[in-house]
Structure 1
Amino acid sequence: MKNWYHSWRAAVRIARRDAVRSKGRSFLVLAMIALPILGVSAADLTLRSAELSTEQALERTLGAADARMSDAHSGGVPIYQSPDANNYAPVGNFDDKPWPEGDTDVRKVLPAGAKSLEDSAGSAKLRTAHGLLNAEIRELKASDPLAAGIMTLVSGRFPTETAEVAATTHFLETSGLSVGSKLAARGLDREYTITGSYELPDALKSDQVNALPGALLDPLDKALAADDLPSTETSTTYLVSVPGGFTWNMVMQINTKGVTVASRAVQLAPPADDDVPLYQQEDWAKSYGDGGAADVAALAAVGTVVGLAMLEICLLAGPAFAVGARRSRRQLGLVGANGGDRRHIRAIVLAGGLVIGFAAAVVGTILGLALTFALRPLLEDYMGQRFGSFDIRPLELLGIGLLAVLTGLLAAIVPAVTASRQSVLASLTGRRGVRRSSRVLPVVGLIAVLLGAAIALYGSLLSDQSILVAAGSAIAELGVVAMTPVLVGLFGRTGRWLPLSPRLALRDAVRNRGRTAPAVAAVLAAVAGTVAVATYAASRDAQSEASYEARLPHGAVSLIVNEAGGRDVPQARAAVQKNLQVDVRADVDRAVVGNVNCAMYSRDKGCGSYEVVVPKANQCPLWSTGSEDPAEKFTKAQRRAFSKDWRCKESSVATPTDGGVLVADEKLLNVLGIDDPAAAKALSEGKVVSFDKRNLDKKGSIGIRLITDTEAADKAREEGKEAPGAVKTFSTHQVADGTNAYGVGMILPPAAAKAAGIATVPFGAYYSTDRLPSSEQRQKLSGELDRTGASIELHIEEGYTSENSIVLLALAVFAGLITIGAAGIATGLAQADAEADLKTLAAVGAPPRVRRTLSGFQCGVVAAMGVVLGSAAGVLPAIGLRLTEEREERAWYEQALDGGFGGNLTPPDVPIVVPWETLGALLIAVPLGAALLAALVTRSRGALSRREAT
């Protein structure tokens, strides 16, 4: 025991002294290990600090109250609830009875002697410095002790009078208002003074206004009701405090009145599942019972990431320890000459990994703590919630630190074994001897590549388990890593066609595969992952772009005002015309049956509707089966045939009105990009222009049925009859098939509508623009449209916008940094390892620039080999996953065809797209950049050295 302790103590002292002496190499390895530890420790601190304890979460929802009582809206019927009150169900079986509905007065259910505080919430559009902003309105006396902890006051004070409000800091920033400003709600004449700002600890980015109970929501609802507008849909709960708190028995007793209770005492000490009646109901699945699989998947993902990170570090740090051991071979030889055996040599090299790993653990953990503490405000703002506390878990940080020590030891294992096998004579004389590559490892790698490819192929073509694709790809990639030394040797055969400097660099890389292969493997792993994700993302992006259906031509704008009477339409039209670079403006109206002040789709008395008459011969048989199931009326072959029937084809672009009928002139054709002189002439002659030939009868006319009694029409449809109403017939021009009208079914000229006695009201406008509006133009336009007070739908067609461009760029940058870092490390080690060769070149008359160009080519060679191999290895998993998705989508499409739902679908198109921009940056720019960077930072002349004493 004493000998073991003293031998390791001496080994650690030697390793520490060697690390201090070789500061550059030691700092390089320390940084490689410490950076992941910094990131993991910072992530652990952030997640633990953001994770609220039960007490902290209850303080933010209950304040200082004992419970929150809410109406279950079950009409007072007894209910069962979960302990956290998030789930509940009425008592009894309602399969054959109406589901219980109705309100319950929670105040009548309050326990005797309880203190309560009303908490109401709604939403409304509030007038700001820029226009209108939809915000939450919360009526809660925030200054009451029961509400302490729900809102955090930032400045000023909470309201104490009905004419005062407080607002969240985010609302004030967004609205342009401040403490002391006046605030008004749309539809309400009175103003409120903002007395303070606050924040919600769980929702820092919430736009909310706080008022006293009854101060804002009630007057606003009355004003909206007077204008026949929808109410704010207020919900009310009660914060309640009773001596001793709410026990589970008290909660179940209150549940019998149709009221739920979120009790502090119950959530701090939940009852057993057997004591919760809700969990005993048949077919009840507890919400937290499904988390096991997700937890296992999350742990597997974390373990995979940690394992890959350790592999990456070991591949990069291992050569550094190998070079360190080689440069200390004389010292190691002296240890052997003085009686040390192989285990002592191994201990010294392993102690180097232990020392560097321990230092990296300390540095990484301390920096992670400091970084998290310094960035806490930014992290809270990014996550949108305040930390519960700065939660430091010593055992978790210790485990992360031990991971660094373990990584250092693993990286030093192979160099330790290699150093211990050298003879004392070879170590003292500096001779390396003949080194042969392993013959077994490439064979194992080839078998892994073939096996992994077979598994991935099986998973993509024959199995429904996509995990097989990932597993097979991972095995194949590890096989390529194992074959890296052989592949490096194959690259070396291309040196005969290269000039002097790149030929020397390539031969040096091949001759010293012990440091070249790990660096190439590290680059390979990083690039393979990047290429796989980039290929998959680019393929999904291409598929999304192909399936994207534009609502308008590129750059066009549509303005729809969904309000009764269309009073605000002229002002809204002018606002768009004023703020955008409009080329053509086409005003559109909508047809109205009955009262012209009726909103679209209104069911009020006096409000009618209309429908486009589709001749029976043009109706899709699948949709005209009434209440019958198409699967019972038609065979599978017939249902498949209907998917190709023109009568069963529909566009997924939403129509602006019933049947897509718009009242407009020929300008609308210009905006929609329809170049049809015959259609323009037909509109000028008062004819209808149709884009759906199903609406045409045998005479080439279109009929529109005017329905004055909507209830009678609904009843007739339920009986399978035609709705009652007069039918107006119009002469029609049918546009050629395949014309994209972007959801417009037909254009009804104003003259034709007037002649048929159909009333119209302004509906909006369509615009073609010279160019897409800037951000400033959009903001100004939104502000002006908000000032109209109307419900406006504005759409600016920008075409398909890829969301993966930033992802692909980030992946390319990440892989580039890993590649340059690994290549730089390999180059630095090569220079340290081949200093004698460089001095020999200088001695035989090589010009100074040879040293610089050789360094650049050494770095470029490693980067190029890793990028080429990684690109080839990364395409396999992406192709496998895309083939799997294609098979799944094909199966789903076939099922839809069999069910008769294929008329609205197109056959699946699952392309495999190679991101050539990303690959080009990796294959060309990254190796070239690495080579140039290495050449720039390398000195042209090396330091002179004396001949070593023998």
Structure 2
Amino acid sequence: MTLRRTPVTRGSVDAPVGPPTPLEPGRRRRFAELTGSWRAALRIARRESRRARRRTALVLAMIALPVLVLAFLAASYDMAELTPREQLDRRLGVADAELRWFADAPVVQDEWGDTWYPRDDGQSAMSRPTTADEVTALLGPGSRVTEIRAGSPVTVRGPRGDETLQAWILDLTDPLARGLVRFRSGRAPQQPGEVALSPTALRRLDGRLGEAVPTADRTRTYTVVGVVEFPDDLGPVIALHPAAVGRADAQPDSRWLIDVPGTVDAAMVARLNERGVVVARRHVPASTTSTRSLIGYVGPADASDLSTMVLIVGLGLLEVVLLVGPAFAVGVRRRRRDLALVAVAGGDAAHLRRVVLADGVVLGVLGAAAGLLLGVGAAFAGRPLMEQYVFGARFGAYRCWPLALVVLGGVAVLAGVLAALAPAWTAARQDVMAGLAGRRTPPRPGPARSSADWRWSSAGRRSRRSGPVGRPPRSSWPV
């Protein structure tokens, strides 16, 4: 009986699928050699950093210092830039929403109440100040409102001259307004002649609770009854009672904090927009929150700010390369014998370059880590000073700028590698025998010169000259 093999059609479904084709042996061998070479170079660099501690400390200081400064600025800037949610909480305090009556006709606003525009052309803006009764009538029964408006600066007389204070007009006895400030001491003003000062204003006036503060024109005198802090303005601020300023001096763009029985939903916002009122509410949809945070918080940077940042980072990178490069060059000269032993053991020029470049990688990583940790820690520790004397406002939550820190770390490592690049090429070209003997690489011999190219001086020394001159006679040699 004859057995016949069943033919298998190419591309048939039942055809067995073989294992995947492995990588070429040559490529795998080269990859393994490269990985092993870098692993050994990094181990040598780590051992060298432990052995030469002074040089390592110097290089780490030069790399970490600019990283520390830039990380401090990045973390401080990130904490100073409030997120939309933090801005809304600071504006509302404990209220449900904030109203601003801008026009007598319908308006269109964004979800956060930051921007608005008129729906119809030719509509007029609000030309008169609104009252609490008008705002309450819009909201319905059971609602409470309180007004907050910025007044004209108040000039008072202090021990060192006149001081100008930014005035805020609000009723701090109302629970809705008390959520906007932080009481340091004292109580809220309850009468037209009572005021509350910020800590900066009280310090400039050298005043205390219960003292009288006269105005610059001596027409009025206020009694300090409380010390309050406005988170958005840490400068000299004075809080006046609404009865101290008449309604005739009120501005049309007053802010109204409201408290309603329910929640401020989209239907209420649309109804208020029909009357020309812009609403900033606390409860914003999650989708709107994420979109607004991405656009408003991380939005496209200004061209001038971006160019300034690139210039600062570039100058920092150049400074690190110029300062750290000589330190690596000195380290290479002191390690001539070790590098020569690597060459004797079978290392070629590429291996010697990797050994020196590994120093830049190790010290760059260590310097970047130290600079980032110290910079972020200094930003957190020096936060009160930056709030008071630089930004003039309280920061948001404790956070850093992760993307900026990653970029700074990468730039620090790149600076370390660039600083070790020139010494690495120098180490790869050194003479092995001179390195084993602890000497520098001897200079390459120049073109051969004959004895006719030398001339003898009267002191018995010889030097090169352009034309052939014979050797002077022995009688002319000095004794």
Q: Please confirm whether the aligned pair reaches a TM-score higher than 0.5, indicating the same fold.
A: yes
CA RMSD in angstroms, aligned pairs only: 3.3
Shift of residue 124, structure 1, vs aligned partner: 5.4
Distance 1:243 1:343 in 2: 76
Distance 2:330 2:396 in 1: 48
In structure 2, the residue matched to 1:128 is: 157
Matches within 5 A, 1:4-15: 4=34, 6-15=36-45
Distance 1:346 1:113 in 2: 79
Distance 1:86 1:141 in 2: 24
> Aligned letter for 2:282?
R
* Residue of structure 1 aligned with 2:436, choices 428, 434, 455: 428
Distance 2:266 2:44 in 1: 66
Give structure 1 stretches of 5+ with no counterpart: 223-230, 274-286, 437-950
Distance 1:312 1:300 in 2: 18
Shift of residue 36, structure 1, vs aligned partner: 0.8
Matching of residue 386 in structure 1 with residue 416 in structure 2: no
Distance change in 2, residues 1:90/1:395 (3 Å): closer
In structure 2, the residue matched to 1:237 is: 255
Which SS does the other structure have where 2:430 is aligned?
coil
Distance 1:258 1:237 in 2: 14
In structure 2, the residue matched to 1:334 is: 341
Which SS does the other structure have where 1:262 is aligned?
strand
Shift of residue 420, structure 1, vs aligned partner: 1.8
Distance change in 2, residues 1:312/1:345 (3 Å): same
Shift of residue 68, structure 1, vs aligned partner: 1.2
In structure 2, the residue matched to 1:102 is: 127
Please say if residues 54 and 268 of structure 1, whose CA atoms lie closer than 8 Å, have aligned partners that are also in contact: no
Structure showing the higher helix proportion among its residues: 1
In structure 2, the residue matched to 1:116 is: 145
Shift of residue 237, structure 1, vs aligned partner: 2.5
Matches within 5 A, 1:9-408: 9-72=39-102, 74=103, 76-94=104-122, 99=124, 101-103=126-128, 104=130, 105-123=134-152, 125-130=154-159, 132-160=162-190, 163-184=193-214, 191-211=221-241, 213-214=242-243, 216-218=244-246, 231=249, 236-243=254-261, 245-266=263-284, 270=288, 292=300, 294-381=301-388, 382-394=390-402, 396-408=404-416
Distance 2:394 2:435 in 1: 60
State the Cα deviation string for residues 332-353 of structure 1 (Å, max 9, x = none). Answer: 1011112223332222211211
Distance 2:342 2:84 in 1: 59
Which SS does the other structure have where 1:406 is aligned?
helix
Please say if residues 124 and 186 of structure 1, whose CA atoms lie closer than 8 Å, have aligned partners that are also in contact: no
Distance 1:5 1:86 in 2: 55
State the Cα deviation string for residues 488-538 of structure 1 (Å, max 9, x = none). Answer: xxxxxxxxxxxxxxxxxxxxxxxxxxxxxxxxxxxxxxxxxxxxxxxxxxx
Distance change in 2, residues 1:111/1:185 (3 Å): farther
In structure 1, the residue matched to 2:3 is: none
Shift of residue 29, structure 1, vs aligned partner: 2.0
> Aligned letter for 2:312?
V
In structure 1, the residue matched to 2:419 is: 411
How many corresponding residue pairs? 403
Shift of residue 263, structure 1, vs aligned partner: 2.3
Distance 1:141 1:93 in 2: 37
Distance 1:139 1:147 in 2: 11
Shift of residue 128, structure 1, vs aligned partner: 3.2
Shift of residue 5, structure 1, vs aligned partner: 5.0
Please say if residues 60 and 150 of structure 1, whose CA atoms lie closer than 8 Å, have aligned partners that are also in contact: yes
Which SS does the other structure have where 1:196 is aligned?
strand
Distance 2:341 2:213 in 1: 84
> Aligned letter for 1:386?
R
Which SS does the other structure have where 1:123 is aligned?
coil
Distance 2:426 2:419 in 1: 13
Please say if residues 137 and 217 of structure 1, whose CA atoms lie closer than 8 Å, have aligned partners that are also in contact: no
Distance change in 2, residues 1:395/1:301 (3 Å): closer
Please say if residues 128 and 176 of structure 1, whose CA atoms lie closer than 8 Å, have aligned partners that are also in contact: no
> Aligned letter for 2:411?
L
> Aligned letter for 1:414?
A
Please say if residues 121 and 234 of structure 1, whose CA atoms lie closer than 8 Å, have aligned partners that are also in contact: no
Distance change in 2, residues 1:411/1:59 (3 Å): same
Which SS does the other structure have where 2:180 is aligned?
coil
Distance 2:421 2:137 in 1: 74
In structure 2, the residue matched to 1:609 is: none
Which SS does the other structure have where 2:302 is aligned?
helix
Shift of residue 391, structure 1, vs aligned partner: 1.1
Q: TM-score scaled by structure 2?
A: 0.74
Percent of aligned pairs with the same amino acid:
38
Shift of residue 41, structure 1, vs aligned partner: 0.8
Distance 1:372 1:295 in 2: 24
State the Cα deviation string for residues 586-628 of structure 1 (Å, max 9, x = none). Answer: xxxxxxxxxxxxxxxxxxxxxxxxxxxxxxxxxxxxxxxxxxx
Please say if residues 333 and 427 of structure 1, whose CA atoms lie closer than 8 Å, have aligned partners that are also in contact: yes
Distance 2:153 2:69 in 1: 43
> Aligned letter for 2:120?
G
> Aligned letter for 2:428?
S
Please say if residues 123 and 134 of structure 1, whose CA atoms lie closer than 8 Å, have aligned partners that are also in contact: no
Shift of residue 328, structure 1, vs aligned partner: 0.7
Please say if residues 59 and 149 of structure 1, whose CA atoms lie closer than 8 Å, have aligned partners that are also in contact: no
Shift of residue 204, structure 1, vs aligned partner: 0.6
Shift of residue 154, structure 1, vs aligned partner: 1.9
In structure 1, the residue matched to 2:21 is: none
> Aligned letter for 1:35?
L
Matches within 5 A, 1:451-850: none
Which SS does the other structure have where 2:148 is aligned?
strand
> Aligned letter for 1:352?
D
Distance 1:435 1:22 in 2: 31
State the Cα deviation string for residues 392-441 of structure 1 (Å, max 9, x = none). Answer: 345643442233222212211222232123342242232423379xxxxx
Distance change in 2, residues 1:19/1:99 (3 Å): same
Distance 2:422 2:191 in 1: 76
Shift of residue 267, structure 1, vs aligned partner: 8.6
Please say if residues 99 and 255 of structure 2, whose CA atoms lie closer than 8 Å, have aligned partners that are also in contact: yes
Please say if residues 76 and 400 of structure 2, whose CA atoms lie closer than 8 Å, have aligned partners that are also in contact: no
When structure 1 is superposed on structure 2, of 197-206 and 367-376 the one drifting more is: 367-376
Greater RCO, CA 8 A, separation 6+: 2
Shift of residue 43, structure 1, vs aligned partner: 0.9
State the Cα deviation string for residues 757-787 of structure 1 (Å, max 9, x = none). Answer: xxxxxxxxxxxxxxxxxxxxxxxxxxxxxxx
Shift of residue 148, structure 1, vs aligned partner: 4.7
